[in-house]
Chain A
Amino acid sequence: MNPSAILENRRYLAPPSRWKMVWQLVWKETRQLAPLIAMLVLISIGLNCLAFMIRQVESSGKLRSVAFLGLPTLFAAGVGAMLVGQERETRTLHWMASLPVPGSLQAWIKLLIGAFGLIAMWVISLAIVCVSSFTAQGNFAVTGDEFTYYLLHSVFLLVAGLACAWYFHNTLVGLLGLVAVTVLITLVDSWLADSFWSASDGVRLMVQLAFCAVALVALRVASYRAYRPQRVVRTKSRANETMGYFDQSFGYAKILTPRYALLWQFSKQNRWILLAITALCAFGGILLAYNSFFDYGIRDGQDTNPVALGCFLIACCGLGVIVFQGDSLHQRVRFLADRGVSPGMVWFSRHAIPFSLLMTFTIITAAIGIYSIVGTHDSNQDRRVMQFALLGVAAYAWVIYAVSQWASQALRSAIVSTIVCPIVAVVPFAYGAFVVSECETPIALLLVSCVIPFIATYRTTQQWMELRVSKRFWIEHGIWLTMAIVIPLLPFFYSYLTYPTIAPAQRAKLQADAELFRKSYSASNRINFWVDPNDVSPDAGGDMMGAGSGMMAAEGGGMGMMIAGGDDAESVADASVPSADAKPVSAWDPPSGFASNVLGYSNTTSGLNRLPIAERMAKRVEHIETQMASFFPGTSIEESHETMQLYNDTTLLRMKLQGPKKTEADQDLYRRAMKNMLAICKGIRSTPSLDGQRTADRYDAWLFNELNQKEAKDFLGQELLRDLDGYLRDKRTRQDIRYKAIVLDWFKAKNSTSQVGQIGRFDLAKPFTSVRWKTDRAIDQVAWNLTQCLFTHDLAKQDAIRQEVGRFFMNGNSRDSIRSPCGSWFGKWETQIDALKLSKEAAQ
């Protein structure tokens, strides 16, 4: 023989390098995990996208938190099934054991790859969340403690999952065993935490570590057992028994009935899984009953026990998965296909048992919910509503089942579908929430979508039985999936196409004007009156209690020093204007204790000031005069406690002047107060917001009312009357500022993300605020109608537009336009102001 050939043969015959062996094993295990990683990453991205789509209803960030924590947790739970269970399924485990590769090495490599994979999944999950945080709104609801807990929990799941996979011969049973162990550990952990060391997180983490250590020992034992040479056990073959036994046990004739045979076969081949699922449901039911009857869980204001819900979720997923995966294991379904069993009968026989189990579960859950209320004579309303929501769990179970059975047919691997189903089952709920909240889909239409998975699996059962996973198979599933997605959107498409809006040219005009006005208006030009240096809360003014209540003074409105700014975060002002920087606009510095010393305000009666009330009124007038002197001309003023108090004082002064006890000092004070009120009215009028304009209308109406009073003209003097006359008769300025208010509030409403459903603090009626796009169109229509109302001279048309606008607002109707922005326009005072003839010039 050629020496070189001998050397070559020796090279092949020599034992392989240990490192090369390790490297090959690592490569193999990594390849095995790749589908699971890809699937989970895709699902996580999908959930984050959904969280973004339903950000209006899901502002708490819970869905993103679920995606963040769920990705590594599911991976950890699935590693055992993927690395060990899959090898059992393909029967390569014992083939590997026959090779000169130590079983312990294989076990350790699997654990090592699982651990590296877990680290990678946490990193990927974190990266996805970081990216989604740039776009999504709301909080991300995971605390540091929770993160640590779930991190350790995932390590436990990884080790325990591998141990279960090594121990159990059936993969699905192994996964359910892992669920049972996890539930048990969680309960023990909660019990220990509640009973002994609730205050110490450190001890709790130590307990988690202890659980991990125990799981590691179990893993070692189970893997050793798996690679141990199998014992040959002679079992009694029932098939070789006498016909009598066979007949007695199963019924020969019954087996000849295909329907019954299929049912029998399903129940036999899945008996352990069905038993495990029933046990899981029973366990969840016991927890639920414990919650309901023994003053635990939601009765203390907590949510329904999540462990019970988790059990139900996994049980329903399990039921869905075994519908088709029970036959996919070891390609059992070929047996049926080869014998020409009807696909329809196969479909029905696979669904019958899970379906009836689910129905029973629904009835029992409902019974527990009802009896927990009736039996315990509980009258707590919140709790009863929660219990009702619990009944919804039974309904959700059907959706989870429908999706799971679909996934179990579409995915070839039983293991992948088992791991993926719990998280895929969340997708229809997220999608349902999206279409209901954003597209206003009727719930009934969602029910149609829930039926489609059953139709889809029925239609494709034959292809599935014949293992024909061709393009046609996927196209057919794709069509059904598309139908399930599109059907709930049909009403949205229809209403989006037919919903009224304004012309693009009209919108462009509003946009152009808004851009123009934004440059000339700065929020820092707005001021409030503040009088209490200890109360700097920028919540001035406050809403009037009850719209249209005239000059009704309202609670609220802080009292503090005079500051600038105070507009909300989404100011119409340019971003360059630092509106949040509230600074004093003047050097005016109120004396310490001004509120209690001068105005007599105090929260307690012990420190009350004894200053006479008449003197306090005079001080207030003086105080506002001082502040007004420091304002720049054209400064906007926001209605506040002080402004309301001033017009109350002014009215009381005028009433006093109309009586017999009037004095010169009172008359002078009244004149000064009216002068202040005129300045305040001008300041409020110059606020370019619809709410401000409405307030200005009230203040102007009050001015008009004051001037209409007997002898009022005599008290005020010609100079002030001329100013009042000039202000009230200046219709052009009033119209201009109203138009500016419409346009700026329109712009703000269109670009606001926090005050959706409002235009200038006026709430739109519910039908127009149900979804954002409808709100936007309603805002367009309102703004355009307001501009039309403003500039039309036809009174009938004005009324018609006012009624049309009133329709858009909360409880607005043709009779009552109190909450409409234009409800106070062109009121009695505005139409009669010309007839008042205040000053001599006007009289001439």
Chain B
Amino acid sequence: MKAIQQTALTRSNHLAEGIMAAKKPGIRGKLRWVAWLCLIPFAVVLVFGIWLANREWKASRLLHAELTQLKAQGQPLDNEAWAAWFDAHTHKEGTDAWLEVLSLSEASSRIAPDLPFVGEVFVPIDITPGMEWPGEPRVAEFLEVFDPLILKIHEAVEYPTPVWWPIQWGGVETLLPQYQESRSVCRLLQLKAMHSLWKKDTEEALKSIKSCLATASAVDSKTIWVTDLVYLAEVAIAHEMINRSLRMDVWNDQQLETLSKWLSQQREPIESWKSCLAGERNMALTIDDDYTSRDGFSGLEALKYIPRLPSDDLRILQYYQSMMDLANGGMAGLPERCSKWSARWEEEYFLRSPFSYSTILLTMLYSSVPQLATAYERVAIQQQLTKTAIAIKRFQKANGRFPNALNELPSPDWPLVNWSINKRTPLIYEVEEGLAKLSYEGGPGAAFPLTVSGAPEHNHFRANAFEIVIR
């Protein structure tokens, strides 16, 4: 019996051993399921982590070198540095005088909304000296009150520029009220100039034009694009004053020469473009991780929820550097180049890392850069056209007739700009009924409705169109 049991046990043991020997899987078989379930996701994450760490390590080294270089160049990268930089690049001598002037000029727009330029009333194109101007008594009465202020403005512009303003530096939310309000000074001067021209008081008008250009210089601190836009707007006001005056035939030779000289003394745009974008870059780098918007939740505030990596700051630097380099090709066609570059950047960087801090930040900022380029080119074109118009007027004074073609003008005045570079429309010069007309529709920008009280219905302001009539 025992033997039978022993035999059965031995058989069953052999059977079990046989099965185990036959079916025992290798280590690969054991781990197959576990690997599928656990290891692959972990491996993916691990590889990604190593790649990211390597990329950021390299970026941090490059960024450190770049920032060190920028700091060595004196570029402001925080609010305190901004204050110091602004102190170093501006002049405090005229600040008090300018603050008084700004305050009172800003008040002028509030108390006279029914006047042209300072108020909201459409400015008639044809104001002929000595002829009827229905709104003139009102303007004269207003200017009588504000003449002392205009005298103060003429005094203030004698101080060195750009002027130091008491700015509270707060990164991208820095308020720049003085810059914004300086436009009211120019508008006041514009009204004064028009009234003086109507009275044929050309010396006074010349003073107003000079002060307008000097006001632009006072705010020309080349800080960021907002300050630059204010500068460009004020220069454009001065150009408009000159262009309107040429319709009146009031200037003598010497005055025309002076105007031409002032226009030639305007700043170098390429350098300004670069320093302005450098300021923008510095502002972008100034945004801290704990940014809180003054006006509630904003897109920038959302950035605090997104990690800011060294590669982001590096990309911000690279982006602005390439934008600065765009100006190396000259100001003509700059908006087109900016737009193309922005589109390319969007394709290459935005799609490559759509969630990165730098992509989101720069996408918020870059839309303003082509606009700034547009403003630069607009003012550049306007300046050249104004200079050309003055040259035509001087030619007429010298020869008793308008030139038949623009190439009759003396060389320093014409041609100063390569009009064909944009390939938009040609510059048109024509003489009709004793009036010379310069018109150009190739400027950047588009038409938009003019919503000024008293303006003809459906009137559109065409940002790309320029027209100067010379009498």
Contact = CB atoms under 8 A, between A and B. Distances in A.
Interface of A: 243, 247, 251-254, 256-257, 259-260, 263, 352-353, 355-356, 359-360, 362-363, 369-370, 373-374, 377, 379, 381-382, 384-385, 387-389, 391-392, 545-553, 600-602, 604-605, 608, 610, 612-614, 616-617, 644-645, 648, 651-652, 655-656, 658-659, 661, 766, 810-811, 813, 815-816, 818-819
Given A385-B360, A550-B99, A605-B119, 5 more contacts: A247-B23, A352-B34, A374-B354, A391-B355, A552-B103
B107 A550 contact: no
B166 A548 contact: yes
Most A-side CB within 10 Å, residue of B34, B84, B292, B363: B34
A247 B110 CA distance: 95
A549 B147 CA distance: 23
A599 B107 CA distance: 13
A614 B84 contact: no
Given A356-B41, A656-B145, A766-B292, A549 B178 contact: yes
Contacts of A388: 305-306, 355
A366 B119 CA distance: 55
Given A356-B41, A816-B169, A381 B176 contact: no
B305 A605 contact: no
Contacts of B120: 605
Given A546-B178, A815-B84, A652 B145 contact: yes
Most B-side CB within 10 Å, residue of A391, A546, A608: A546
9 contacts: A352-B37, A387-B355, A548-B168, A652-B104, A652-B146, A655-B148, A813-B80, A815-B80, A818-B166
Given A260-B33, A359-B42, A379 B106 contact: no
Interface stretch (B24-32, B225-233, B387-395, B460-468): B24-32
Contact of B37 (A356, A645, A811): A356
Contact of B168 (A374, A377, A810): A810
B111 A613 contact: yes
Contact of B38 (A254, A356, A616, A648): A356
Interface string B63-88: 00000000000000001100110010
Contacts of B79: 811, 813
Nearest to A818: B168
B292 to A, nearest CB: 7
Nearest to A614: B145
A659 B147 contact: yes
Nearest to B184: A553
A519 B181 CA distance: 43
B453 interface: yes
B136 interface: no
A645 B45 contact: no
Contacts of A815: 80, 83-84, 87
Given A260-B30, A370-B355, A816-B169, A613 B145 contact: yes
How big is chain B's contact interface, by range? 35 or more
A652 B103 contact: no
B149 interface: yes
A634 to B, nearest CB: 29
A605 B41 contact: no
A549 B102 CA distance: 9
Contacts of B355: 369-370, 373, 384, 387-388, 391
Nearest to A377: B351
B363 A381 contact: yes
A522 to B, nearest CB: 32
B104 A651 contact: yes
Interface of B: 19-20, 23-25, 29-30, 33-34, 37-38, 41-42, 44-45, 79-80, 83-84, 87, 96, 99-100, 102-104, 106-107, 110-114, 119-121, 138, 141-142, 144-149, 151-152, 165-170, 175-178, 180-181, 290, 292, 299, 302, 305-306, 346, 350-351, 354-355, 360, 363-364, 453-454
A648 B104 contact: yes
Given A652-B148, A811-B169, A253 B25 contact: yes
A321 to B, nearest CB: 19
Q: Which 6 A-B pairs have the closest CB atoms?
A: A655-B148, A359-B41, A548-B166, A545-B177, A546-B177, A550-B99
Contacts of A256: 20
A454 to B, nearest CB: 15
Contacts of B306: 385, 388
A382 B138 CA distance: 50
Contacts of A392: 305
Given A655-B152, A811-B168, A253 B24 contact: yes
A651 B142 CA distance: 15
Contact of A553 (B23, B34, B106, B453): B106
B113 A602 contact: yes
B142 A613 contact: yes
A254 B147 CA distance: 101
A805 B103 CA distance: 29
B141 A389 contact: no
B63 to A, nearest CB: 22
A617 B113 contact: no
A616 B453 contact: no
Contact of B111 (A374, A546, A600): A600
A257 to B, nearest CB: 6
